[in-house]
Amino acid sequence: MFAHKDQSNVIKVLRKQIADLEDEKESVKRYTEDFPNSKTEELKKWPKKTSELIEKAHDLLEDVGKRGKSLFQLRKKAEQICKDIAAHVQEARGFSDIPLSYRQEKVAANRFEDFESRSGVLKDIMEALRSPGINKIGVYGKPGMGKTMMVREVKRRAEQERLFDAVLVATVGRNPDLPRIQDEIARVSNEQTGLIEDKVLVILDDLWEPGSSLELLGINGKEEDKVVSYKLLLTSRDRDLVSHTSETQIEIGSLAWGDAWSLFKKIADDPDKSRGLPFYANEITKKCEGLPIAVATLANALRRRNLIEWKTTLRKLQSLPFDQQNSSQIPQSLYSAIELHCSGLKSNELQQIFLLCSLLGRNATIQNLLKYGIGLGLFPGVKSIEEARAQLLNSVTKLTDSSLLLDSGSSLYFDMHDLVRDFATSTVSKEYGVLALTEDAPINWSHMEAMESIKWIYLSNGDTSLLPDELKCPKLTFFHFSEKSSSLASPPNLFRDKEGLKVLSLSKIKFLPIPSSSISLPKNLCTLCLDQVKLGAINIGTIVGELENLQVLSLAGSDLGELPMQMGQLTKLKLLDLSDCTELKVIPPGVLSNLSGLEELYMRNSFVQWAEGIEEHENQNASLAELEPLELLTTMEVHVICNIQKIPEGLFSENLARFKVFLGGRWNHWNSSWGSPKLLKLKLDAGISSCHSIRKLLKKTNELHLEGLIGVKNVVNELDEEGFQELKYLCVQDGLEIQHIVSVEHAFPVLEVIFLRNLENMEKICHGPLGAGSFRKLRLITIECCNKLKNLFSASIARQLQQLQEIRVKHCSDMEETIDDKEQESGNSPEEREGHIVELITLRSLKLQRLPKLISFNSSYRKMTFFNKKVVFSSNLEELQLCSIERISTIWHNSMISCFEKLKILIIHDCKDLQYLLSSSVESDSEGMIQLLLPKLKSLRRFPLYLPQVENGQPSPPPSLKQIIVWPHECWKSLEWDHPNAERVLLQFCGRYHSFPFKLGEGRIKRLELTDIDVENTWVPPSVQELVLNGCNYLRSLNDISSTKDAEELKCYRIWDCNGVKCVFSSSINLLAQKLEALDLFSLENLEALFEAEAITKSPLPPDTFSSLKTISVRYCHKIKTLFPFGMNLQSLEEIRIGDCLQMEEIIVWDAEEGGGEKEGVIQLILPKLKSLELKDMPALKSICGRRAVMVCDSLVEIWIDNCESLRRIPLYLPLLDNGQPSPPPSLQQFNVWPQAWGGYWLESLEWDHPNARAVLLRFRKFTPIPGRFEMSLNQRRR
């Protein structure tokens, strides 16, 4: 007989084998669904045998659960099933037809590699994300350095460490799709809620424009916009842009040689194994010069190539650089790699798809690619759009596998690196006759020879004034134009005699009032896209009525109010997109039913006034019944608001392969939360038992939302008695009559996520036993506000949850336990009960909140600990949150320590009876702990956190621990500690206590924030780089903290709301001021000066005072009159931001006798690195640097002045040209004055050193308020 440990090992091995097989099954399924015609005999047989093996394995596990004792009699059977599964998995991995992108494991080119030259950058970013004082982080580096890959890894780790409630990544790019990004941010903001505090990380990748992009996204750093919930991580190739839009900047540079060589070998199948290749591989890697994209692309291109091709590639790399004007300055190594890849694109269609991808840009949609590709005939031999899409996805997969496309992580979008795009648009486009411009640029349309060879024209963000009266391009097949200024008076002859034109796309334009008859389009047009256009009085029917060969018509986002009758003549139309046509109110009867060839219909967020939902005497619209005859329809997105009984029986045909169907009411979001191809949302006020069309659709739905259903008590039994065999995501809310979700034996075999909210009368999720396989793929369960629910599952059902990763339960007033195991306790002997263990081996996160009656995780141990040995979590649990669980006194039994060894986040909040975490004085191993929050635990007595001891016997903190919060303060005094010095170690992580007499741990703390404490005896560790003093009212100056003199790394001070501070430094000889790089002063109501006046009088300031200072920010310090005293060395100063200082009169005190060099009687104050000068709301400000001094600022980029009406002179040095006229500083970009109301008067009253100086500066004037970065976010000042 096996021991229990052996039994568990056998179970784990079998379950691991099943998981591997499930992964391969999913890969094969995805591939065969996309390419149904590519099945070989082996591929056809493989799924059937897979199902048989999985069924056998689950039967075996079910037998084990029933016996609950051993696997002795089943051992041979278990071993044989394991062997069969392993062989079957290996067979699947041998299918050569399935591309790499369909596998769970991606090739190295699409993965982040944690190389040594990247680990430091990653560490810095993660530390900045964890820091409460930093809300905007900028990552910059040259193109191709791997910024996108880095932030994707940051996203993964942030999610893994549970640093945020949600993480959103959006690619901005040169021409960002701002509405889509805004909608996504809003959706995440509205849907995500945390247990303690909502936190969202927004990653904006590939930023090209400063502040404006953030403002257009609705993220401007102002408190009233609720931006305080966000942290921003920005990437850009422009260092200056990042420095002006973030608080901390991190550079990502080239790979070290060893890392580059390692990456090359991983992707190129280790050339060391092949004879003759190592030398060439080594030399080729060197030529990449540490550029990751070049290394990865070249390695991928040379993979499985012969020796001759390796030699040829190296020879090209060693040759003289190519004409950079023609290559858009693409590095030679990358140029050669892309060239090699392009030569391997075998079909002409694949090459054109690659070229189309480059024109559409970053993070573009597969759908647009499909629309254009159909019109251009890029899918030869296909008989339907479904087949065309499958062929397109196969092409995208091939381009991704060859590194020509980036892995977008979505089947809806594709992505291409800018450098690859530049290659395609500058090199490949010439071969195919493509004219592509993404910004205003003059075009020589009269160059007849050049124009005659043009086949494609792609003009993005252009100006109609650049268009000719007539296009002299006889070979033109594709024309795209998007208008920057949103108006288009189309030249009447623009498309005359263009019978070869197949695709016409006009986007984001506004038609001027012109006769519709003057717009003539070629009759052979196959694709017409008028997306986001303002048609005005244009009759779209006149334009499209005669396009008898039209296959694709897209009017998405247009202001179309009525579908014209002429559209019914488009009998060859296959795809009609009316998405987001919110003005569409009328569709005449007979139009849709005439579109007999229609295969795809998109009407999301559009027309809802179907005839079935309108009174008969008001009916002027099409009926849903008109969609029934459309036998070829495979894709449908439609919203129906009508009596459920009026929905036609045949509305949803068997051919539907993709659908988004919304029935009843209004819905906020059309996009699937999980990217499901088959989405159904029901919000109905009547039962659906007699509506067979909906019941039929339910059986094939992947994602189902049920809201406010009336007349439904049992979801599965009444909606789909077969148990929703294809459903992956289920959301049920606001169903007052629902009592159970399921009570049939077999249900939800592929369900991954279940979300239940506001089901006031639900008593059980599962009523009765479930068969093997039900819920076996469930990974996330969320329950909210289900007040009659007493538990989640029975123990027998819980044993089937072998892929469950997260449990979230909150606001369920009657819940008593999470797992009900009473059924297995009754009638069994003690030995049998001992064998009934529930193993949640995959659970990673458990969040339980506001469950007032909850006593225990499982029912059989109510009077002991919350967790006990009857439920085993293995060691995968990483996050545990228990909030407002009032009736627990001890969290877990000491025998369960091993189940919690991997805990990274422990939050226990407001559990008023909690006394102990463990049942006895045993220390828990907490080496991986990152965050520990224990607020409002007034009864807590013992804190058994394992603290490893160093050589001197003193405890050291857990190596990963970043934050501990225990409050109120009294909790510290009542805790029992296992080491007499333990408290002084832990206090280094706590920012909420009232005294701080202990030394902190050395070598680890980079940022120290002290709030509301007496800092006189505080010891600051030498490793601290940033010191934040918040609300420390006993502080008089930084010299009060004597230990700062030993803090050699300290470079940044932030002093906020410290009312006792009269000066920052009370001594003139101060090493702190010499190495200081950043100084931030906020709301210091008694601050009079940076240096105490008496100290300066006694001893002059050393010449290197402030010699390292880069930035200074002073806000709401109303008593200070001057900022920098005379004699400051400000050679490193880059930013000055002063505002809301009501008595401030002068920024820099500058004496004429001892200032800088004189020139023509003027004293020059040289600030060589100053980039930004911002002055706001200072009514007493009279001078910036004295009446005779001028500031020489060759690096100055911007000046912002707001409400400084007493200022009479801007002392900016303007060098004189040969003609005696002044010229602006060489780097100046903006000279901003706000508000306009007094700006003109104030400018007129200024004194200028040169009569033309005002005119020179006004050229850089922009009426823009001081940007949001000037505002300090609430997160920084939160106490």
Confidence at 186, pLDDT banded by 50, 70, 90: low
- Tell me which residue of 880, 932, 941, 894 sits closest to 914, measured CA to CA: 941
- Tell me which residue of 395, 557, 417 sits closest to 34, measured CA to CA: 395
361-365, 688-692, 762-766: which range is least confident on average?
Answer: 688-692
Residue 1040: CB atoms within 10 Å: 19
∠ CA 555-561-567 to the nearest 5 degrees? 60
Distance (Å, whole) CA 170 – CA 184: 9
CB burial readout 446-472, b (16+ within 10 A) else e: eeeeebeebbbbbbbbbebeebeeebe
Secondary structure in 3-state letters for 1014-1058: ECCCCCCCCCCCEEEEECCCCCCCHHHCHHHHHCCCCCEEEEECC
What's the pLDDT at 91?
76
What's the pLDDT at 999?
38
Residue 1010: CB atoms within 10 Å: 21
Confidence at 838, pLDDT banded by 50, 70, 90: confident
Can you read off the two tokens belonging to residue 956? 């050291």
What's the pLDDT at 68?
47
∠ CA 527-529-531 to the nearest 5 degrees? 165
Say if residue 174 is exposed, middle or buried (CB neighbours under 10 Å; 0-12, 13-18, 19+). middle
Label residue 290 left, alpha or beta by phi (over 0 means left) and psi (-120 to 50 means alpha): left
The separation between CA 194 and the C-alpha centre of its own chain, rounded to angstroms, equals 17
Can you read off the two tokens belonging to residue 990? 């706590």
The pLDDT of 971-975, averaged and rounded, is: 56
The pLDDT of 290-298, averaged and rounded, is: 87
Indicate if the pLDDT at residue 1119 is higher than 60.
yes
Tens of pLDDT, residue by residue over 1147-1203, are 988 754 444 444 456 788 889 999 999 998 899 998 898 777 888 998 988 888 888
Tens of pLDDT, residue by residue over 985-998, are 444 444 433 333 33
Tens of pLDDT, residue by residue over 84-109, are 887 787 777 666 455 544 444 444 45
For residue 507, the cross-strand partners are: 482
DSSP state of 594: G
What's the pLDDT at 252?
92
What's the pLDDT at 1190?
87
Extents of the domains making up the chain: 4-102, 108-251, 257-385+399-429, 433-550
Indicate if the pLDDT at residue 511 is higher than 80.
no
Indicate if the pLDDT at residue 972 is higher than 70.
no
What's the pLDDT at 1236?
44
Residue 1128: CB atoms within 10 Å: 23
Do 1233 and 1243 touch, CB atoms closer than 8 A? yes
4-8, 65-69, 373-377: which range is least confident on average?
Answer: 4-8
For residue 435, the cross-strand partners are: 457
Amino acid at 429: S
The separation between CA 378 and the C-alpha centre of its own chain, rounded to angstroms, equals 33
Distance (Å, whole) CA 948 – CA 957: 7
Distance (Å, whole) CA 634 – CA 653: 8
Q: What is the phi/psi pair of residue 1191, to 5°?
A: -95, 125
What stretches of 294-433 adopt beta strand conformation (E)? 364-365, 413-414
Distance (Å, whole) CA 1252 – CA 724: 78
Indicate if the pLDDT at residue 35 is higher than 60.
no
Q: How many residues does the chain have?
A: 1279
Can you read off the two tokens belonging to residue 116? 């040594």
> Helices 4-34 & 385-401, crossing angle to 10 degrees?
120
- Tell me which residue of 522, 516, 510, 448 sits closest to 479, measured CA to CA: 522
Can you read off the two tokens belonging to residue 1166? 């040289």
CATH 3.40.50.300 fits 108-251, yes or no: yes
Task: Report the sign of the C-alpha dihedral through residues 102, 106, 109, 110, in that order.
Answer: positive
What's the pLDDT at 1019?
66
CB burial readout 382-400, b (16+ within 10 A) else e: beebbebbbbbbbbbbbbb
What's the pLDDT at 603?
94
What's the pLDDT at 1103?
81
The mean predicted confidence, pLDDT, of the chain is 78
The pLDDT of 510-529, averaged and rounded, is: 79
∠ CA 844-848-853 to the nearest 5 degrees? 145
Count of H-run helices and E-run strands, the chain: 33, 53
